[in-house]
Amino acid sequence: MIKRLILGVICLSLTFKGLASPPDTVKAGAYVISVHDINFHDKEYTIRFWLWFLYKNKDFDFNKQLDVPNAKSIESEIITDSIEGSKWVIMKMKCVMKENWRVGDFPFDSQHLHIQIENTLFDKNTLVFKPDTAGSRFARKIAIDGWTINNFSVSSHNNEYETSFGDHRAKQQLSDFATFDIDMDIERDAWGLFMKIFVGMYIAFLIAFISFTPNPWELEPRFGLPVGGLFAAVGNKYIIDSLLPESSQFTLVDSLHTITFFAIFATLLVSAICLKLHDRGHKEACIRVSKVGSKIVMFGYIIANVVLIAIAIF
Amino acid sequence: MKRLIFLITLLASSYTMYGRPLGSTPDSVKVGVYVISVHDINFHDKEYTIRFWMWFLHDNPEFDFKTQLDIPNAKEIDEPEVIYDTINGKTWVQMKMKCVMKENWVVHNFPFDKQHLRVRVENILFDRHKLVFKADVRHSMFDDIEGMDGWTVKNFAVSEDTTRYNTGFGDPQPGHDAQTFSTFKIDMDIERDAWGLFMKIFIGMYIAFLIALVSFASQPWELEPRFGLPVGGLFAAVGNKYIIDSLLPESPEFSLVDTLHSITFIGILSVLAVSAISMKYYNADNKEACLRANKIGSRIVLFAYVIVNIFFVATA
């Protein structure tokens, strides 16, 4: 009798599962007012946007259930109403977003911004987002200064958490939540910034290079100038580094400065070889090495710079 | 956002296809402002703080500016202090506001820059079919004494305008895919007497160049001062540039600060180049040409540096 009862309950539950209602659809859209306080060093930016939801399920309360998992901090104001029998929630959001900036090609970098919005309570079996692609926009005039927004889009996906968040009834350690995603690419005209941050470095190299002008046996300028240039180049590098996030990646900034360090080292090396030859009485060879060496250093430096910058741009 | 006016309008039956009540006119809200202070001007973080009194005179009891006010170009808006009263049968609302404003500073000519500040005020709930602002031009003003330190405010003005949002903020009804809101604008130009600041920020750079130039005083074959001094000047110029850069926002634009420092770097490089060329002549036993190159070179460098500096500063 008990076995039959258990079987009956199982059959009933299976029937209910088969007839289970589909998840409620929430139409979601966004209007981005502004992206500002872009901070490469602290790996963050601030975004302010309007967010709206249209849905019928009265259990949904986005004032309490909204989450932006990739935000460092979230502030929101909410207005609720109804339209055509649906609940209409409009929220003014301000989020400080965590961002892993790709600075490999800085300042010729383009960035991708992604804002992921979820309901903390209802998983994808209960709630799915339908993006309002037609109504979602960004304020073209004020959205972002110094950058251009490309490929703005909103979409919906699922975010899988490999945990049941303590639900011991769950058969597997898995939770799947619908997400509403705002995506955009941002890029800038970088040549002004490039000139600004690298002019000190190039002048440092040129000062080192001037040391080829005096005779190889004139020690003061031959060795003093490159060392002065090296100090200036090192100073320039660490000032630029303070703008960028700590990263194990070898960026364009690192590459160009490293080439400059090597070029200055090469300048000193050529001077040292010339001096050696001069000390041994090979004055002619000394002058020839100085001449050829200076050309190799300059030519190599220009070629290496052009190649690395071209790779970063293209 | 916004924009629940459409919901409200839908509840009534006498509507056109654009959601506007037939025969109705929007409620007019007289709005004015008294700017107490503009401070914490931060070029690097692209922001400033503004404190002001704002008042609204209207007849519509649905308008609640304490909760419905928005300043789209503000980073932060503090909870306003609100005083409610009535005057001649109208609701009179006075609000003390404090906002941190986002500002895209024009630093191309810094420190000879002039800035334009704009504060845009909107009602988040009612669009222009329901609410229009009418600027109280006569009574709106700027506190001349407390207003701003170090800057002069010019062309202070308040006006009304409209802002179009190319979105329906989720409104699914046909024809509601864009909304226009009445906007109250506070505008002002600010400028400063920049010569003191100019001297302060560029004195280090000019001294650096002069130190490099002093190397011409020694004979071209005196290697120690001829090459040591310009390198010392270069260090000072680089240091000066990056101290000033820390004040300015990150920008791809090549500003006056960048231009003058680049000219100084090139000037110092030219000093070294003249020394190197002079020494070349000296080493070739052409002492006369050495001295002549040194003399002419030093004059060209100094003359060109002064002329180029005057040109760029005058242009700014």
Q: Would you state the pLDDT for residue B234?
A: 87
Kindly determine whether residue B272 and residue A225, on different chains, have CB atoms separated by under 8 Å. yes
> Do β-strands B81-87 and B141-142 pair in parallel, antiparallel, or remain unpaired?
unpaired
Q: What is the pLDDT of residues B294-304, one digit of tens each?
A: 999 999 999 99
Say which of A54, A199, A220 has its CB closest to residue B223: A220
Residue A12 has pLDDT above 50, yes or no: no
Three-class secondary structure of residue A187 per DSSP: strand
Say which of A36, A90, A107 has its CB closest to residue B170: A90
> Do β-strands A127-131 and A24-39 pair in parallel, antiparallel, or remain unpaired?
parallel
Overall average pLDDT of the A13-39 stretch: 78
Say which of A36, A134, A199 has its CB closest to residue B177: A134
In chain A, residues with a C-beta closer than 8 Å to the C-beta of B172 are 27, 54, 83-84
Kindly determine whether residue A199 and residue B224, on different chains, have CB atoms separated by under 8 Å. no
User: Rounded to whole angstroms, how far apart are CA atoms A50 and A60?
Assistant: 18
Q: Is the dihedral of CA B109, A33, B4, A92 positive or negative?
A: negative
In chain A, residues with a C-beta closer than 8 Å to the C-beta of B297 are none
Overall average pLDDT of the B118-147 stretch: 92
CB contact B178 to A (< 8 Å): no
CB contact A188 to B (< 8 Å): yes
Residue B20 has pLDDT above 60, yes or no: no
Residue A166 in tokens = 């303590």
CB contact B231 to A (< 8 Å): yes
Say which of B167, B169, B238 has its CB closest to residue A200: B238
Kindly determine whether residue B279 and residue A213, on different chains, have CB atoms separated by under 8 Å. yes
Three-class secondary structure of residue A130 per DSSP: strand
By the 8 A CB rule, do B249 and B111 touch?
no
A174: confidence class by pLDDT, cuts 50, 70, 90: confident
Q: Would you state the pLDDT for residue A111?
A: 94
Overall average pLDDT of the A26-53 stretch: 93
Buried b (16+ CB within 10 A) or exposed e, B239-262: ebbbebbeebbbbbebbbbbbbbb
Three-class secondary structure of residue A148 per DSSP: strand
B149: confidence class by pLDDT, cuts 50, 70, 90: confident
Indicate the average pLDDT of chain B.
87
In chain A, residues with a C-beta closer than 8 Å to the C-beta of B173 are 83-84
Gap from B43 CA to chain A (nearest CA, Å):
12
User: Rounded to whole angstroms, how far apart are CA atoms B53 and B172?
Assistant: 38
Percent of chain B with pLDDT over 90: 59
Overall average pLDDT of the A145-154 stretch: 90
Lowest model confidence (mean pLDDT) among A23-32, A303-312, B21-30, B109-118: B21-30
Angle between helices B256-283 and A191-210 (to 10 degrees): 20
Question: Which B residues, 129 through 158, put their C-beta within 8 Å of a C-beta on chain A?
Answer: none
In chain A, residues with a C-beta closer than 8 Å to the C-beta of B276 are 210, 213-214, 221
User: Rounded to whole angstroms, how far apart are CA atoms B1 and A129?
Assistant: 19
Cα A105 to the chain's mean position, in Å?
A: 11
Between A16 and A160, the higher pLDDT residue: A160
In chain A, residues with a C-beta closer than 8 Å to the C-beta of B245 are 196, 239
Kindly determine whether residue A207 and residue B234, on different chains, have CB atoms separated by under 8 Å. yes
Nearest Cα residue to A92 out of B169, B10, B8: B169
Overall average pLDDT of the A29-50 stretch: 93
Q: Would you state the pLDDT for residue A196?
A: 84
In chain A, residues with a C-beta closer than 8 Å to the C-beta of B170 are 27, 29, 52-54, 88, 90, 132, 135
Indicate the average pLDDT of chain A.
87
Gap from B56 CA to chain A (nearest CA, Å):
22
CB contact A187 to B (< 8 Å): no
Say which of B1, B272, B280 has its CB closest to residue A90: B1
Beta strands in chain B (DSSP E): 27-42, 47-58, 69-70, 74-77, 81-87, 90-102, 115-123, 131-135, 141-142, 152-165, 179-191
Q: Would you state the pLDDT for residue A20?
A: 61
In chain B, residues with a C-beta closer than 8 Å to the C-beta of A31 are 1, 165, 167, 169
Kindly determine whether residue A50 and residue B104, on different chains, have CB atoms separated by under 8 Å. no
Overall average pLDDT of the B279-291 stretch: 90
User: Rounded to whole angstroms, how far apart are CA atoms A286 and A212?
Assistant: 12
CB contact B195 to A (< 8 Å): no
Q: List Cβ neighbours of B47 (8 Å cut-off, separation of 6 or more).
A: B40, B75, B100, B101, B102, B103
Cα B157 to the chain's mean position, in Å?
A: 18
Three-class secondary structure of residue B20 per DSSP: coil
Q: What is the pLDDT of residues A229-257, one digit of tens each?
A: 998 888 888 778 877 877 778 899 999 99
Q: List Cβ neighbours of B69 (8 Å cut-off, separation of 6 or more).
A: B77, B80, B95, B121, B122, B123, B124
Kindly determine whether residue B7 and residue A81, on different chains, have CB atoms separated by under 8 Å. yes
In chain B, residues with a C-beta closer than 8 Å to the C-beta of A146 are 104, 250-252
What ipTM was predicted for this assembly? Answer: 0.74
Q: Which residue of B lies nearest to A90 if distances are taken between CA atoms?
A: B1
Residue A269 has pLDDT above 90, yes or no: yes
In chain B, residues with a C-beta closer than 8 Å to the C-beta of A215 are 279, 283
Angle at A99 between CA A93 and CA A101, to 5 degrees: 140
Q: Would you state the pLDDT for residue A48?
A: 95
Kindly determine whether residue A84 and residue B173, on different chains, have CB atoms separated by under 8 Å. yes
Nearest Cα residue to A103 out of A193, A184, A216, A25: A193
Q: What is the pLDDT of residues A95-138, one digit of tens each?
A: 999 999 998 898 899 999 999 999 999 989 999 999 999 999 99
By the 8 A CB rule, do A121 and A65 touch?
yes
A165: confidence class by pLDDT, cuts 50, 70, 90: confident
Kindly determine whether residue B276 and residue A221, on different chains, have CB atoms separated by under 8 Å. yes
Residue B255 has pLDDT above 80, yes or no: yes
Q: List Cβ neighbours of A6 (8 Å cut-off, separation of 6 or more).
A: none
Lowest model confidence (mean pLDDT) among A190-199, B57-66, B179-188: A190-199
Gap from B60 CA to chain A (nearest CA, Å):
20
Q: What is the pLDDT of residues B189-234, one digit of tens each?
A: 999 888 888 988 899 999 999 999 999 988 988 888 888 899 889 8
User: Rounded to whole angstroms, how far apart are CA atoms B250 and A39?
Assistant: 10
CB contact B79 to A (< 8 Å): no
CB contact B83 to A (< 8 Å): no
Other CB atoms within a 10 A radius of the CB of residue B200 amount to: 11
| Longest CA–CA separation in chain A, Å | 114
By the 8 A CB rule, do B281 and B261 touch?
no
Residue A9 has pLDDT above 60, yes or no: no
Interface test with B, best of A83, A182, A198, A291 (most B CBs within 10 A): A83
B2: confidence class by pLDDT, cuts 50, 70, 90: low
CB contact A236 to B (< 8 Å): yes
Kindly determine whether residue A224 and residue B46, on different chains, have CB atoms separated by under 8 Å. no
Name B153's bridge partners. B190
Q: What is the pLDDT of residues B33-92, one digit of tens each?
A: 999 999 999 988 899 999 999 999 999 999 999 989 999 999 999 999 999 999 888 999
CB contact B73 to A (< 8 Å): yes
Question: Which A residues, 260 through 289, put their C-beta within 8 Å of a C-beta on chain B?
Answer: none
Other CB atoms within a 10 A radius of the CB of residue B217 amount to: 11
CB contact A56 to B (< 8 Å): no
Percent of chain B with pLDDT over 70: 93
CB contact A92 to B (< 8 Å): yes
Between A168 and B134, the higher pLDDT residue: B134
Overall average pLDDT of the A295-306 stretch: 96
User: Rounded to whole angstroms, how far apart are CA atoms A50 and A29?
Assistant: 8
Say which of A137, A145, A189 has its CB closest to residue B167: A137
A120 backbone dihedrals φ, ψ, rounded to 5°: -75, -20
